[in-house]
């Protein structure tokens, strides 16, 4: 495995493949993947359960299958890009979620990941996530099972998505005791505006990065991947307003500053949000549905966030 690419710690946009194979057919998915690579993108993120809620089958795997077909149709592409997928949440009984969602037992991890590799047509991925917590299983069992996948070469690195900071650190301590690969990345929902603490949002399963989780990732040197960084278009589309949980003075102040900075920089609000994340070393996951949207998002890498700009953006919290 190309170590220069797999160990990079430089923040960069990640292409989210959640709706490949459902909302996005093969033609659109391939166009997005090709454009992403052509524009210098390297990381693609998916999950074994994507997107069971969109597919008539009631189970996931559509995204991984599209990616498998893309890799098969693009010889040499596997050496150019890095791929992350997740286990946990795949319905084991069609249309019965969350009651039948796979967990994080050793058996579930092995079975779920083996199925992922089969759909992808690959023998390994560069990063494997635990998609969410499973407190019904001893954490040491989960840690050992993930560590085994790195030891046998099927996963390059490991990460935890939608986990509490203390659980991540507990798992890392267990990994040290077991002598296995620890989680070195976390994936959480994060954007420039944040909801009121403790509020229940429509996306009930999403875990937001809060101050302690951000501090934990930074202090421990963990990569932080942020999903829903553009809040499904709410920064630029009046037809996609923020949910009521975001209605507080901090949001209103931040949106005002965001608009001012975007105008001054000659950038879109989306680009400023992404540039703000990248400047902090955070990897934003891009959920796009057109090549134009992708091109706009990737251009955020060229938006310069100076210390003065960063201070202005950070102050109205």
Task: Summarize pLDDT for 60-117 with one digit per residue, the tens.
Answer: 999 999 999 999 999 999 999 999 999 999 999 999 999 999 999 999 999 999 999 9
Phi/psi of residue 95, each to 5°?
65, 10
Kindly give the pairing relationship between strand 82-87 and strand 185-189. unpaired
> Which residue in 205, 212, 154, 213 sits closest to 185, CA to CA?
213
- Domain CATH code at residue 236: 3.20.20.100
pLDDT at residue 316 is higher than 90: no
The range of the structural domain enclosing residue 82 comes to 3-314
Averaged pLDDT score across all residues of the chain: 95
| Per-residue confidence band for 317, with pLDDT thresholds at 50, 70 and 90 | low
pLDDT at residue 217 is higher than 80: yes
Calculate what percentage of the chain has a pLDDT beyond 90: 92
Which pLDDT score, from 0 to 100, does residue 8 have? 41
The mean pLDDT value for 261-267 works out to 97
The mean pLDDT value for 156-178 works out to 98
Please give the tally of structural domains in the chain: 1
């Amino acid at each position: 495995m190309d170590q220069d690419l797999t160990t990079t710690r430089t923040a960069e946009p990640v292409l989210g493949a959640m709706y490949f194979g459902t909302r996005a057919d093969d033609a659109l998915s391939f166009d997005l993947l090709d454009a992403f690579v052509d524009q210098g993108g390297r990381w693609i993120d998916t999950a074994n359960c994507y997107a069971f809620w969109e597919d008539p089958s009631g189970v996931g795997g559509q995204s991984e299958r599209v990616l498998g077909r893309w890799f098969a149709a693009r010889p040499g592409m596997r050496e150019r890009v890095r791929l992350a997928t997740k286990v946990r949440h795949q319905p084991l009984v069609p249309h019965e979620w969350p009651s039948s969602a796979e967990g994080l037992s050793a058996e579930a991890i092995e079975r779920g990941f083996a199925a992922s590799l089969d759909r992808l047509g690959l023998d390994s991925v560069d990063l494997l996530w635990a998609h969410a917590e499973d407190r019904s299983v001893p954490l040491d069992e989960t840690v050992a099972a993930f560590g085994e996948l790195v030891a046998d070469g099927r996963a390059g690195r490991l990460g935890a998505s939608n986990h509490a900071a203390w659980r991540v650190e507990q798992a890392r301590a267990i990994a040290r005791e077991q002598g296995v690969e620890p989680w070195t990345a976390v994936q959480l929902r994060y954007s420039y505006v944040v909801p009121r603490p403790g509020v229940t949002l429509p996306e009930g399963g999403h875990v937001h990065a809060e101050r302690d989780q951000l501090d934990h990732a930074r202090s421990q040197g963990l990569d932080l991947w942020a999903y829903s960084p553009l809040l499904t278009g709410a920064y630029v589309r009046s037809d996609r307003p923020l949910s009521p949980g975001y209605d507080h003075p901090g949001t209103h102040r931040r949106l005002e500053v965001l608009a001012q900075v975007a105008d001054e920089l000659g950038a879109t609000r989306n680009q400023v949000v992404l540039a703000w994340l990248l400047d902090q070393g955070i990897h934003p996951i891009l959920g796009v549905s057109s090549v134009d949207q992708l091109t706009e998002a990737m251009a955020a890498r060229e938006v310069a966030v100076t210390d003065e700009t960063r201070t202005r953006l950070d102050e109205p919290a």
